[in-house]
Chains A and B, each alone.
Chain A
Amino acid sequence: GNSVTQMEGPVTLSEEAFLTINCTYTATGYPSLFWYVQYPGEGLQLLLKATKADDKGSNKGFEATYRKETTSFHLEKGSVQVSDSAVYFCALIRTSGSRLTFGEGTQLTVNP
C-alpha cells in the first residue's frame, strides 16, 4: 500500500539556520506529493505540492523537489524564522480521487 515516512523529530534550530526535513514515500505509479503545515493551535494547511517527477513546489520560502529515483520529497528552507515553528506533514495521493496518505509529522522549533 501507499506510505509516507518522515524523519524523526523534534527538530530544533536557531533563527536563520538551514532547514531540511526528510520525506520518503512508497507508492505505485506516479503519486502527487504535498507538504502540509500545522501551526500551534490550528488545523493543517497546504504548504506546497508537486505533481510529477522533478517538479519543485515552493511557498513562503520553503521548497521541495519530487525525486522519483530516490522516492523522496524533502522540505528545505534557507533561513528559518521563529514563526516557522510548527508541525510539518508530508503526504501523497496516488491518483486524483484516491485517499490522501499522511506521514507522521515532524515538529520544528526555531529559537531566537
Chain B
Amino acid sequence: NAGVTQTPKFQVLKTGQSMTLQCAQDMNHNSMYWYRQDPGMGLRLIYYSASEGTTDKGEVPNGYNVSRLNKREFSLRLESAAPSQTSVYFCASSESWATNEKLFFGSGTQLSVL
C-alpha cells in the first residue's frame, strides 16, 4: 500500500528558482494538505484542498501556489524560491475535511534554498 507519495525527497534550489513538489494519494481521500516543518515550530499548514476542485490558504501561504490536479494529486509550487522557504515539506490526506484530525502523511521533501 503506497498511501501518500511525495516527490522529490530532496531538492536544492538557488534563490529565485522555481519548482513544483508533487503529491499523490491512493486511498480515495477527498482532502489533501501541504505542511512545512521547521525546527522549534512544529508543522504549519500552507494550503489545503478540502475536496477536488477547491483550494484554500492555511497559516503560511505566502510564496506558494497549489493545484488540485484531480482527486489523487495535489501539487505545491514555489514560483521564486527564497532562503526562508528552506524547510521540510509534507503532503497529507484525510477522508474528508470533517475527519482532518486523522491525517496520513507522505515521507517529506527536504528543500534547501541557497
8 A Cβ contacts from A13-47 to B: 32, 34, 36, 41-46
Q: Which residues of B contact A42 (CB under 8 A)?
A: 105, 107
Contact with B along A31-72 (1 / 0, CB 8 A): 010101000011111100100000000000000000000000
CB atoms of B41 and A104 under 8 A apart? yes
Q: Mark B89-114, 1 if CB is under 8 A from A, else 0.
A: 01010000111111111111000000
Give Cα A99 to B45, complex, Å: 9
Q: Are B101 and A93 in contact (CB under 8 A)?
A: yes
- Is the CB of A4 closer than 8 A to any CB of chain B? yes
Which partner residue on chain B sits nearest A92 by CB separation? B101
Residues of B near A104 (CB, < 8 A) are 40-42
Give CA–CA (A99, B102) in the complex, Å.
11
Contact, CB under 8 Å: B103 / A100 = yes
If A43-B92, A89-B43 touch, whether A100 touches B100 (CB-CB below 8 Å) is yes
Assess whether A112 is interfacial by the CB under 8 Å rule: no
CA–CA, A73 and B57, complex, Å: 29
At the interface, yes or no: B4 with Cβ under 8 Å from chain A? yes
A100 to B58 Cα, complex, angstroms: 11
Contact of A44 among B41, B43, B44, B45 (CB under 8 A): B43
7 additional A-B pairs beyond A43-B105, A45-B104, beta carbons within 8 Å, are: A34-B101, A43-B4, A43-B108, A93-B100, A93-B101, A100-B103, A103-B42
